[in-house]
């Protein structure tokens, strides 16, 4: 979130015609990429957990369906 806000802040002078911010502001805006990586890692972990859960349910259903 910090990176996204910093990116908006650093682009604002370009749109408003004012003096650009110092280099530090542009470095902070690079945190937006880190945020995307963290979000992507969370999505991949969620996909893995859902697949494991689905396999466990299928295994339990197959075990219950077998005659004794």
pLDDT at site 45: 97
pLDDT at site 5: 78
CA pair distance 27, 40, nearest whole angstrom: 21
Query: Who wins on pLDDT, 8 or 54?
Result: 54
- Taking all residues of the chain, what is their mean pLDDT, rounded to a whole number? 86
Contacts of 28 (CB under 8 A, 6+ apart): 2, 3, 6
Token look-up 């502001």 returns 25
CA pair distance 34, 50, nearest whole angstrom: 25
Query: Who wins on pLDDT, 59 or 20?
Result: 59
């Amino acid at each position: 979130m910090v990176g996204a806000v910093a990116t908006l802040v650093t682009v604002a002078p370009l749109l408003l015609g004012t003096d650009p911010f110092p280099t530090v502001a542009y470095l902070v805006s690079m945190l937006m990429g880190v945020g995307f990586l963290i979000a992507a890692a969370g999505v991949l972990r969620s996909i893995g957990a859902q697949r494991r859960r689905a396999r466990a349910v299928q295994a339990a259903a197959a075990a219950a369906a077998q005659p004794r």
